[in-house]
Each structure stands twice: as structure tokens, then as C-alpha cells.
Amino acid sequence: MIAIIDYKAGNLTSVRLALEYIGVECEITNDPARILAADRVIFPGVGAAAEAMKNLRELQLLEPIKTVVSRGTPFLGICLGTQVIFEYSEEDGGTPCIGLAPGTVKRFTPSNPADKIPQMGWNAVEFRCFGEPFPRNQSAVLRCFGEPFPRNPNSVPRCFGEPLPRNQKAVPRCSGEPFPRNQSACHPLFNGIEDGSEFYFVHSYYPSPSDAAYTMGETEYADARFASVIGKGNLFATQFHPERSGRIGLKLLENFSRWDGKC
């Protein structure tokens, strides 16, 4: 059973209908006991950060949410549910949030009047592996803990003293694990979804994690390149709406319904 947390933030029915469409059992609830007993938890929402935090306190849901995440239950945040898992949001004059992920939530400040706020519509998500980009082709810049390998072809690029294999068929690796050759990302929730796929966004603020290792996907809009997907351990969260993102959004929800919380 998947519990969809009801904290008066809307968008609950569309998530439930999307899960039911793919045959996944779920319930909308604000009962702490039901949330704690669930196999998986979805934390959706639309609205403002201050009102969301007020509702979470009044409904006594903050501790159950923290407990669910700390004990390893697969947890999916969506839109506002993604923003309030951070430490602080600039919204409503500044709002302290739950603090499940390090960093802040910032407002778009576009220099081009054509970049309308909120962002409403489809936009691409580029996958990341613990904050680092997947090598997209043989001309991509391979990186070793954030630092680019030398471009000089006569030099021997090294990572912690070890030479990078010259064989172009060598498998790029992220934290010891090979990058999938189909570029479907190193996170189980992106299985079967192509890097650069477009998802549906509606938001005026965006996540800015202080630890790049939390960034599992990035998107560009209004002078900002922001973390549109957050992940660590059993915690996964998207700024976009998978339940409104058609086939690929349903695929992500299907992946979540099968995920054991390990990455």
C-alpha cells in the first residue's frame, strides 16, 4: 500500500488516479498511523511553503514524515512536497522547512521578461549521478569527483593516481558503479526513461541543495539551472509532476511502486 499524505495542499486526487491507472493500491490519508504503516509514501502538494508547514504542524505530520524517511521507507516528494523537505524556503518572506535535505528553495529571478513565472509547461530533465553528469558521448568531459580530466591528448588523465583507460570502450563509472549504457541513469526510478525526457512543471521556486550529491536531475529555466530531481537513499523527490507527465511520468510512478528504497 502507498500512502499519499493529505496536508491540505491539493493535487492529491490526480496522484491517486495516476496510481490507480497503473494498477497500484493507494490511499489518501492524514492519519500518522496509516502513514507509518505504509509500504511506500508519496508527499505531493501545490501551494505555498508557509501554509504547508502550518498544516503539517497542526496535523502532527512532521514527526511521522521524518520517521518514515529515517527508517528507510521509500519516499517520493512531488512539487511543493519536494520544496518543503529542504531546510529553508525563500517563499512567504522566508520559511523554515522540514530539513530532510540540505539546502534552500529559491525564487526564479529572470532577466528576460519572456521567461514567465511561474514556469508552467514541459521541460527537459538531465540525469545526474550523485551530482555529476553522465558522459553523453565520446567528446564529453569525464570527471573525477567534480574535476575535469585534462583535455591534452598527450597526457595520461588520472583519478586518484590511477590512469584513465585509453580504450574508448572503457565503462565510465560513478561511485564504482558503471553508468548504464542506455543512459537511463543510475537511479532505479529512472529505469526505462531516457535522459533528457520532458516532464510537466508548475512552480515559481526551485530547489537548491547545498550538497551536490543530492542532485539526481537538472533542468534549465529563467537564468537558472536547478535541481529538478533530488535523491539520497530511500528519499526521492521531483520538482515536476509525474502524475501530469503522461507516459514517462506514469513510468516513474510505476518504478516507485516497485522500488525497495535502495540505490
The per-residue pLDDT for 166 is 47
Q: CB under 8 Å, gap of 24 or more: what pairs does 146-150 form? A: 146/212
In this prediction, residue 133 has a pLDDT band, given cuts at 50, 70 and 90, of low
> Rounded to whole angstroms, how far apart are CA atoms 252 and 240?
12
16 pLDDT higher than 80: yes
Q: What percent of the chain has pLDDT over 70?
A: 78
Cβ atoms 242, 78 nearer than 8 A: yes
Give catalytic status of residue 187 as yes or no. Answer: no
Cβ atoms 89, 207 nearer than 8 A: no
The per-residue pLDDT for 128 is 86
143 pLDDT higher than 50: no
Nearest CA to 30 among 72, 9, 61, 65?
61
147 pLDDT higher than 80: no
The per-residue pLDDT for 131 is 62
Q: Which of 79, 129, 174, 186 is catalytic?
A: 79
The per-residue pLDDT for 130 is 56
CA 155 to chain centre: 37
261 pLDDT higher than 50: yes
Q: Which amino acid is at 104?
A: T
Q: Which of 126, 132, 243, 254 is catalytic?
A: 243
Q: Using omega within 30 degrees of 0 as the cis cutoff, is the peptide bond preceding 178 cis?
A: no
Domains in the chain (CATH in brackets) are: 2-127+184-258 (3.40.50.880), 142-171 (no CATH)
Nearest CA to 257 among 245, 242, 246?
242
175 pLDDT higher than 90: no
Whether this prediction's pTM lies above 0.75 is answered by: yes
Q: Which of 91, 187, 241, 254 is catalytic?
A: 241
**What's the sign of the alpha-carbon dihedral 107, 57, 1, 12?**
negative
66 pLDDT higher than 80: yes
Q: Which three cell numbers stand for residue 77?
A: 516528494
Average pLDDT over residues 105-110: 96
The per-residue pLDDT for 129 is 74
Mean pLDDT is lowest, of 58-62, 140-144, 160-164, 248-252, for: 140-144
CB atoms closer than 10 angstroms to residue 138: 8
Give catalytic status of residue 220 as yes or no. Answer: no
- pLDDT per position as a tens digit, 30-48: 999 999 999 999 999 999 9
> Rounded to whole angstroms, how far apart are CA atoms 23 and 133?
34
**Average confidence score pLDDT of the chain:** 85
